[in-house]
Structure 1
Amino acid sequence: MNLDAALNADLHCHSVISDGTLSPEALAARAKAAGVQLWSLTDHDEIGGQSRAIAAARAAGLAYLTGTEISVSFAGRVVHIVGLGFDHEAPEIVAGLRATRGGREARARDMAAGLAEAGIPGAFEGALQYVSNPDLISRTHFARFLVDAGHCSDLPEVFRRFLTEGKPGFVPHKWAALKDAVGWITRAGGVAVIAHPGRYDFTPTEEYALITEFMAHGGRGIEVVTGSHTPAEFVKYTDTALEFGLLASRGSDFHSPAESRTDLGTLPPLADKLTPVWAALAARIHH
């Protein structure tokens, strides 16, 4: 397999193990059918689906990198760090992610209480219909319940009305520190990547601070081509990767056939002048 920038790699998507709607096996089949050549399952703060994803990719004849997407707190916002190519059984990252997930059930019950005060009872039980484990419950599961129960027409409306800061169902969570998340990934043999940087609405100064602190802790990559970036942001973050000497990544951030605007494998390729993250992880690819 040629590991240049033209490779159809999709290194960011989610399964039912976190807040996606498809199983790891169904995602592997969908990726293969879409022409993906290198795939990674990057569930939120969770690596419990990695063994299944590796097996499913192998069965489909699909090259695979282990993955996760870790939520961290930075400059008063939640930033996501994707980890790729790490040992998914390394004790430190397993324990770190378990600690990060801890408290989700208590947070979810507080979210449900806020929604009940806003006239929507039963939201915790409703959200649980969309997730098997309360330790993994997230705002997305509440959003799906509110749409299916007829309180909102779609997920964006739910977040606007109920689940962002200052709204009735918003409860902050204590996420990992940037230093810890990058450390867990790198010490397990992987590469840390800043996910969808265009989503954070940082000022140039804040974005510079994020990138430089991330690199100081050992972070090496940035998502350039991703489902939430515009074509102009593809160009912007191509330049950012070159300016800072960062490896470039690519991924759809696919969650669901019904919800995601970008399907697996459908993004444009990275620019030829970039060094793709998968070139640095060739030895970590499962075949």
Structure 2
Amino acid sequence: MRIAVTNPTGNVGRHLTRTLARAGIRPLLLARNPENIPAELEPFVDVAQADSQDAAQVAAATRGVDALYWVDPSVMSADPLGDYARATDAVVRAVQENGIGRVVFQSSVGAEKRHGVGEIDGLAATEVALDALDIDITHLRCGYFFANLLLDLDSLRAGRLTTVLPVDAPMAWVAPRDIAEVAALTLLNREWSGRRVQAVHGPEDLSWAQVAAILSSELGRDVEVSRVTDDEMLGALRGAGMPEAMAHAVLGMSTGMRVGFVPEQERTVVTTTPTGLRGWVREELLPLL
């Protein structure tokens, strides 16, 4: 089985690539910048240059592929949903032109709403487009990445976290490595067919207040979380250099699920993965602070 992996240097892709190699698979890595693939992987992978928003490049790179792990890349953009639409066009063209019969798509909790969830609307559109094809498709509806905390290193050093969500509202948090494990198992398992939705919820639902308490304990200093207004968050996102449409799309991922949202998939043994926030903080966050 020839398996292709997009965004192979991303939070999930870098773990997925190594997991497939350990399983005896030589994955094909689709990379916009192949020079960024670690040299240590070269004996175990094949690499093709392809921008996931370029349909012609993706179609050319995936000839002979049986199964595809697809990620809609999120990049700093003045037209984020347009970028998602271009990525959707690229994966659809590749599947149709090359007869790729099996796709695992990295989606998100919230995509089931289809509209009104900021950037996640782009993932929802990809889900719909893939569902319309005559293929076996699994959508991984992932929780909030632990790795998103890495975007706030300066704030963490100052002992601050901010959110537009109620600080006591629990939600699914997940380690990217756990998503990679589920992705690898799904790609390698030949027993499923048709359309599937597989949630990846992490080990437990956590509120921002609980996250702050865990960080305080593990970092050895107080970390406080405060709820800010939507306008304050927009100002912070703009201050970080985000174009206007991108800032609103990022904010919408939180505000779109703020009131009354319940994930389509319940937490079960199937959706629950093992890596806890404390362990992730010790392994991934502390070395950077």
Q: TM-score, normalising length from structure 2? A: 0.26
Q: Which has the higher strand share?
A: 2
Structure with larger RCO (C-alpha < 8 A, sep 6+): 1
Q: TM-score, normalising length from structure 1? A: 0.26
